[in-house]
Structure formats: C-alpha cells, structure tokens
Amino acid sequence: MKNFVRMPAFAKVNLCLHVLARRPDGFHELRTIFQAISLRDTLELSFTRRPGIELQVSDTGLSAGPDNLVYRAVEAIGCELDFHGGIRARLIKKIPVARGLGGGSSDAAAALIGMLRLTGHERDFPLAKLMEIGSRLGADVPFFFFGGRALAVNRGDEIYPLDDAQPRTIVVVSPRAIGVSTKDAYEWLSAELTNRANPPNIWRFCALCWSRQGKLSNDFELPVFRRYPRLGEIRDAFLQAGAAEAALAGSGSAVFGVFRNPAQARRAARNFPEDSVFVVETLSRERYGRAIGWRAVV
C-alpha cells in the first residue's frame, strides 16, 4: 500500500472508425482501431483523514464533483474494494476536453489503476472485473488499460490488442472556437447510417484496415466537416504540409496529421497559430505499459 500515486493519462486517436446501426441499448455498434499517443493528463491520488472524495481539477471549466469521470471512477472502485476512507485526487489537464481524444476516459482508467495501486490491490484485482467497471464509466475506458494499438468492437468497450505499427509523429490541432457534441455528431450521422447497405462485419473491417496500412478513415468526417468546413480545411492543410495521412479525431473537433519526420511535423504545427497544437508520438503497448507502470495481461 502506498500513500501517494501519480498516474499519466494518455490520449488516443482513432485510426479507423466505422459506425454501424443503433443497438437495442441505444448505443451504436462500432468498429474502430485505437492508437495511444503521448499527449497526456496527470492524476495524483493520496489518502486523507476525512472520509469521502476531494477532487481538484486544473481546468476550471470542468466539474470537480460527482459528474466528473475521475470522481466516479474512484467511487466505483472504492465500492468494489469496500474502501471507506478518504481520497484526495488532483487532475492536471493537458488533453483538450470534448475533442475526440479520449481524455475523460483515460483519466477514469488512470483513477481505477491508481486506486488499485494506492490500496495495494494492483496485483490481485481481476482484469475482467476492472474492464467491466471501466465500460460502465465510458465505452472507451477499457482501451486505456492496454494502450498501444487495439481493435475495439461493440460499443468500443470490447478490446483486442494488435501488433504495434511503426512509430509515428502526430500533430494534433484543437480549434479554440469549434466544439462538436458527440451526441450531435451521432445524430448527424444517423440518417446516413439508415441508407448504408451491407455494413462490413468485423473480419471485413479488420481486413480493410490492415490492407490499407497507414490509411485513416472516420465515418464522422462527412457530416462533421459539412457543418464545420474549417475542420476539413485543417485536414487538407496537414496533407499539403506533407502529412502521410490526416483525419478527424473521434467525433471531433480535434484533427490530427501523421508524419514520418518529427522536423516536418514541427514545421506543419506552425501553420495553426490561433489554435491549440500538440506535437506528440504514437505509443507502443510496451512503452505505454512502462509509462503507467502497469500492463494488462490477455
């Protein structure tokens, strides 16, 4: 048992994102390939003498109460462990919020692993149970127990780790003036989904993505770019600056470009002086595991 834990919480991008029909539970069926990147938040956890959860968040625009995913994660794992003590959590945000980069879900995963480490249950808590708790908090939370590159199906919560691709430099642009609601993005896409014939099954999806090495695809791009043309312009600017590929991040509004050369990536980043820009790297599963000090065994 430790008295203090500091956890990195890394962002992700979707290399392929295919949205199928709405499921009976109201969510959409997904086929996606996640890739962890080095852009990260930092979460600190420690015990307090006063029972309950005390959460501090560096981003004053985010809630520090029970609707924050870190708060909910600490509360959920505490119930599983029958823990009734006090926890102080401090979240230092670097990942832009609501930009399709998975920051909230990554924070939740870091909180779950951090609580296991803090309370001395890191080695004996079942992975399957941890993934169940994570998926209740958010569909892509389970990915952040693995990192690297992974196939995700169902709601995005069923994870199959994949072999790592060659390391690449990623430039992420988060437009300051544009925010895309995930709920709205799904509604915009719904009409197109009803007209889509014979969507690919999981094996056809995998074959498509693996046969198009380095090629990005995202079903949200068409409806989102139609409503926010500047996001499409950012993608095109990446390609003109020498990016091998570029795409919308999740349902947006961040856009990312993939570069083979870090110097080229840094030059491209200068093209967006009015936006938040991050030059980062892809993370292999091994490197991700070393960084968080924990590796999911499958």
Question: Catalytic one among 12, 93, 164, 219?
Answer: 12
**Distance between CA 30 and CA 69 in Å, rounded?**
22
Active site residue 157: no
140, 157, 164, 219: the active-site residue = 140
Can you tell me the distance from the alpha carbon of 295 to that of 173, in angstroms, rounded to the nearest whole number?
A: 30
| Burial zone of 56 (CB within 10 Å; 0-12 exposed, 13-18 middle, 19+ buried) | exposed
Structure tokens at 253: 């509004």
Structure token pair of residue 285: 């599963």
| Contact criterion met (CB below 8 Å) for 210 and 237 | no
Q: Catalytic site residue 12?
A: yes
Q: Helices 69-80 and 127-137 sit at what angle, rounded to 10 degrees?
A: 140
Q: Could you give the 3-state DSSP secondary structure of residue 271?
A: coil
**What's the burial of 298, exposed, middle or buried (CB within 10 Å: 0-12/13-18/19+)?**
exposed
Q: Tell me whether strands 52-57 and 158-162 are parallel, antiparallel or unpaired.
A: unpaired
Beta strands in 63-206 (DSSP E): 86-92, 149-153, 158-162, 169-174
- Supply the residues annotated as catalytic: 12, 140
